[in-house]
Amino acid sequence: MTADREEIARFEALAEEWWDPMGPMRPLHALNPVRLAWIRALACRHFGRDERQLRPLGGLAALDVGCGGGLLAEPLARLGALVVAIDPAAASIEVARRHAAEVGLAIDYRVATAADLADRGETFDLVCALEVIEHVDEPEALVADLARLTRRGGLLLLSTLNRTLASLLGGILAAEWLLGWLPPGTHDWRRFLRPSELARMLRTHGLQPVALTGVGWDAAHDRFVLVRQPSINYMLAAVRS
């Protein structure tokens, strides 16, 4: 069991507010477009799809690990993927199920961990675990599970926070305490992984890192953007060969 019980309780309290883009999940809603654009670009390049289509991921089996209220799972489904989405917090899954039914999307939501699915031998073309690895006790065990869940030739996408002075100041001090983007105590800086550490874990488990990008805040336009330096938040893509 890699999911921490205290962490689960914290997200359950927030579950009902997942879908209010002006509510407590506002930062995730604001992050979504830039993340989705990156995921779409990489997935389209990797699977040879046309980015301008409305359903470019048509027919791909996708897994969203740590799906919360479904903020990533729903867009993936709208883009055409056949989505399984898991989260250990039952309240989040309940919120996600109701919301998907309301907007008419067929998504297979389950209260489960990556280990549960991997043990059953399920595999996917596209596996996403965004902002998950910094919340688990044993990141390397999670990477091993994600590797098992990714099909040969499939794509794994991760996002997390770097362990730098900038992430301590920007990711925790600013985001949790000054700007109030996240509830204080959401993150523990000591658990953060550097991109090099994460890449090493991926290689150990048969995954080849193929792309890395930083995500930054563009204060002038009040939005998140992709940046070269992965100094605070970053996304990493790997292919299972």
Binding segment (CB under 8 A) for other proteins, from list 58-66, 99-107, 112-120, 233-241: 99-107
The correct pick among 90, 103, 173, 179 for binding other proteins (CB under 8 A) is 103
Regarding 196 and contact with other proteins (CB under 8 A), the answer is: no
The correct pick among 1, 9, 17, 21 for binding other proteins (CB under 8 A) is 21
- Distance (Å, whole) CA 40 – CA 152: 19
Say whether 65 sits in a helix, a strand or coil.
strand
- Distance (Å, whole) CA 80 – CA 152: 21
**∠ CA(112), CA(116), CA(122), 5° rounding?**
105
Q: Which residues of 62-72 are buried (b: 16+ CB within 10 A; e: fewer)?
A: bbbbbbbbbbb
- Distance (Å, whole) CA 111 – CA 85: 9
The correct pick among 3, 11, 14, 32 for binding other proteins (CB under 8 A) is 32
Question: Among residues 37 and 178, whose Cβ is nearest to other proteins?
Answer: 37
Q: How far is CA 24 from the centre of its chain?
A: 18
Site for other proteins in 71-90 (CB under 8 A): 74-79
Regarding 124 and contact with other proteins (CB under 8 A), the answer is: no
Binding segment (CB under 8 A) for other proteins, from list 24-32, 106-114, 148-156, 184-192: 24-32
Contacts to other proteins by CB under 8 A: 19, 21-22, 29-30, 32-33, 36-37, 40, 51-54, 56, 74-79, 99, 102-104
